Amino acid sequence: MAKSKSSFKFITIILRFLWVCFIVGAAAALILSCLATLVHPATSGLIPLLGIGCPMLIMFNVIIFSFLAFRKKMTAIIPAIALLGSIGFWGDFYQLPVLKHHKEQTKEINELKLVSYNVHNFRSPRKYERTIDSVVLFMRMTRADIVCLQEFGSLTEQERALINRNLAHFTYSKQTHDQAIFSRYKITDYKEIRSEGNLLPAVRVTIEFNDTKFGLYNLHMQTTEFNAMVPEGIRAFVGSDKLAEDAKNTAKVVQQNAVQRANQAIQIDSMIMIDNLPTIIIGDLNDTPASYVYSLLSNDRTDAFRAKGIGYGYTYKKLKRMFRIDYILVPDDYDVVSYDSPNLRWSDHNPVIANILINQN
pTM: 0.90
Residues 160, 50 share a domain:
no
Q: Where are the beta strands (DSSP E) in 233-306?
A: 279-284, 301-303
pLDDT at 360: 74
Residue where one domain finishes, among candidates 61, 85, 109: 85
Instruction: Assess contact for 144 and 353: CB atoms under 8 A.
Output: yes
Alpha-carbon distance of 122 to 347, in angstroms, equals: 7
Q: Under a CB-based contact definition with an 8 Å cutoff, are residues 181 and 148 in contact?
A: yes
Q: Which domain holds residue 288?
A: 99-357
Opening angle at CA 179, ends 128 and 294, nearest 5: 100
Residue 81 sits in the same domain as residue 105 = no
In a domain, 92, yes or no: no
How far is it, in rounded angstroms, from Cα 274 to Cα 268?
10
Is 194 strand, coil or helix? strand
Determine, yes or no, domain membership for 161: yes
Q: Are both 167 and 198 inside the same structural domain?
A: yes
The pLDDT score that the predictor gives to residue 2 is: 56
Strand partners, 187: 207
CA distances in angstroms from 93 to 64, 202, 260, 283, 348, listed in the order given = 19, 25, 24, 17, 19
Question: Quick one: pLDDT at residue 42?
Answer: 93
Beta carbons within 8 Å of 38's beta carbon, 6+ residues apart: 292, 295
Task: Say if 125 falls within a structural domain.
Answer: yes
138 shares its domain with 260: yes
- Walk along the chain (361 residues) and give the pLDDT tens digit of each residue: 555 667 778 888 999 999 999 999 999 999 999 999 999 999 988 898 899 899 999 999 999 999 999 999 999 999 999 999 999 999 999 998 865 665 556 778 899 999 999 999 999 887 778 999 999 999 999 999 999 999 998 889 999 999 989 998 899 999 887 899 999 999 999 999 876 656 677 899 999 998 899 999 999 998 876 555 555 444 444 445 555 566 667 777 888 889 999 999 999 999 999 998 999 999 999 999 999 999 999 999 999 999 999 999 999 999 889 999 999 999 999 999 999 999 999 999 999 999 999 987 7
Secondary structure letter of residue 238 according to DSSP: H
Q: Mark whether 14 and 67 lie in a shared domain.
A: yes
Q: Name the strand (E) or helix (H) holding 173.
A: strand 172-175
DSSP assigned state of 334: S
Distance CA 315, CA 322 (A): 8
In a domain, 81, yes or no: yes
Q: What pLDDT score was predicted for residue 107? A: 78
Task: Please give the tally of structural domains in the chain.
Answer: 2
Residues 348 and 208 in one domain: yes
Clarify whether residues 64 and 171 are in a common domain.
no
Domain-located, residue 93: no
CA separation, residue 92 to residues 25, 257, 294 (Å)? 23, 22, 11
Q: 18 with 147, same domain?
A: no
Other CB atoms closer than 10 Å to residue 7's CB: what's the count?
A: 10
Among residues 60, 85, 110, the one where a domain terminates is 85
DSSP 111: E
DSSP one-letter code for 316: B
Residue 91 lies inside a defined structural domain of this protein: no
| Domain final residue pick, 15, 50, 85 | 85
148: number of Cβ within 10 Å: 30
Using alpha carbons, list the distances in angstroms from residue 165 to 37, 68, 175: 44, 61, 16
How many whole angstroms separate alpha carbon 146 and alpha carbon 3? Answer: 76
Domain presence at residue 149 = yes
The rounded distance, in Å, linking the Cα atoms of 191 and 137 is: 28
Identify the pLDDT of residue 243.
Answer: 54
Same domain? For 149 and 19 the reply is: no
Question: Is residue 110 located within the same domain as residue 75?
Answer: no
Residues 258 and 293 in one domain: yes
Give the CATH number, domain containing residue 306: 3.60.10.10
Clarify whether residues 326 and 203 are in a common domain: yes
Separation CA 179–CA 309 (nearest Å):
25
Within a domain: 202:
yes
